[in-house]
Amino acid sequence: MEPILDIKDLTKTFRNRGKSDLTVVDHVSFQLYPGEILGVVGESGSGKSTIAKLITRLIDATEGSIFMNGRDITHAKGAQLKDIYQQLQMVFQNPVGSFDPRRTLGDGIGESLRNHGVPKEKCRERVIRLLEQCGLSEEFAGRYPHEVSGGQCQRAAIARALAIEPKILICDEATSALDVTVQKQIVELLLSLQKANGLSYLFICHNLALVQMLCSRVLVLYDGKIVESGTPDEVILSPKSEYTKCLVDAVL
């Protein structure tokens, strides 16, 4: 099976005037396959979110390559990004902050549909269907981000990400701002959506229990490098690197 995402020697170095350069992603390579849920774990500052920003082209790579469906998107810009974002979407850590506070959730969810020329009435129908698919009623289309709970807002954010039917979702700490009960509900939602739509997830997280519940394979990131990979059970129950052992010990 060909990977849907193929990351090769991805590196990001930030230049600091008068100081040493800071490399936050250091020659990282991995593949994401169709229908797979791949976890990326590591402590804050390990480079997880930077990898997400590189893949989604929010920042430029210093070195390395990013291939999506065999196409090199490493330096994609402008109109090329529209094609990329039709296949690749991101769910952010702060659901409320990811929406425009002056616009309703329905407006936010429907924005990408309108940008793709979907007529107003069909757009509204699609927004309501997406909300229902993500466990929210029609009335949430008229609510503003500050009027709903964090879990409800994250459900709306997932609905927005699914609007143009992407094949890949990058979830960047998508559950970390939520309480434990709501985290479990969001993970269950992601699992059901993945099965229903054949999605591939890159699930960036620091919670090993959630990774074990959701992911089929996991990468452990430390200081910008992948130090271990395998199934969640292999990595959590039989860690090989000292860093992974410390990560596991910290939650036992």
> What percent of the chain stands above pLDDT 70?
100
Residue 132 or 16, more confident: 132
Q: Report the pLDDT value the prediction gives residue 210, as an integer from 0 to 100.
A: 87
Short-list 97, 108, 165, 113, CA closest to 141: 108
Hey, is 12 helix, strand or coil? Answer: strand
Q: What is the pLDDT of residues 165-191, one digit of tens each?
A: 999 999 998 888 788 888 888 888 999
Burial classification of residue 62, based on how many CB atoms lie within 10 Å of its CB (0-12 exposed, 13-18 middle, 19 or more buried): middle
Q: In DSSP terms, which residues pair with 116 in a beta bridge? A: none
- What is the mean pLDDT of the segment spanning 117-134? 93
- Give the residue numbers spanning the domain of 178: 5-100+166-249
- What is the mean pLDDT of the segment spanning 4-16? 95
Q: Give the confidence band of 55 by pLDDT, cuts at 50, 70, 90.
A: very high
Residue 202 or 248, more confident: 202
Task: Mark out the alpha helices in 116-172 (DSSP H runs).
Answer: 120-133, 150-162
CATH of the domain at 220: 3.40.50.300
Distances (CA, A) of 167 to 5, 42, 44: 11, 25, 27
Short-list 204, 209, 237, 207, CA closest to 219: 204
Q: Report the pLDDT value the prediction gives residue 44, as an integer from 0 to 100.
A: 87
Q: Report the pLDDT value the prediction gives residue 19, as an integer from 0 to 100.
A: 80
Single-letter residue type at 68: M
Long-range contacts of 56-60 (CB under 8 A, 24+ apart): 56/85, 56/88, 56/90, 56/170, 57/81, 57/84, 59/12
Q: Would residue 192 count as lying in a domain?
A: yes
Q: What is the pLDDT of residues 73-111, one digit of tens each?
A: 999 988 889 889 999 999 988 889 989 999 999 999 999
Q: Would residue 236 count as lying in a domain?
A: yes
Q: Would residue 203 count as lying in a domain?
A: yes
- What is the mean pLDDT of the segment spanning 17-40? 93
Single-letter residue type at 224: G
Distances (CA, A) of 223 to 27, 50, 114, 210, 243: 11, 12, 41, 22, 10
Q: Would residue 117 count as lying in a domain?
A: no
Q: Give the confidence band of 206 by pLDDT, cuts at 50, 70, 90.
A: confident
- The pTM of the full predicted model, rounded to 2 decimals, is 0.91
Q: Would residue 210 count as lying in a domain?
A: yes
> What is the number of structural domains in the chain?
1
Q: Give the confidence band of 163 by pLDDT, cuts at 50, 70, 90.
A: very high
pLDDT at residue 252 greater than cutoff 70: no
Q: Would residue 107 count as lying in a domain?
A: no
Q: Would residue 56 count as lying in a domain?
A: yes
Q: What is the DSSP letter of 234?
A: H
- Residue carrying the six token digits 């082209």: 57
CB neighbours of 149 closer than 8 A, spacing ≥ 6? 182
Q: Would residue 124 count as lying in a domain?
A: no
Q: Give the confidence band of 209 by pLDDT, cuts at 50, 70, 90.
A: confident
Q: Give the confidence band of 249 by pLDDT, cuts at 50, 70, 90.
A: confident
pLDDT at residue 251 greater than cutoff 80: no
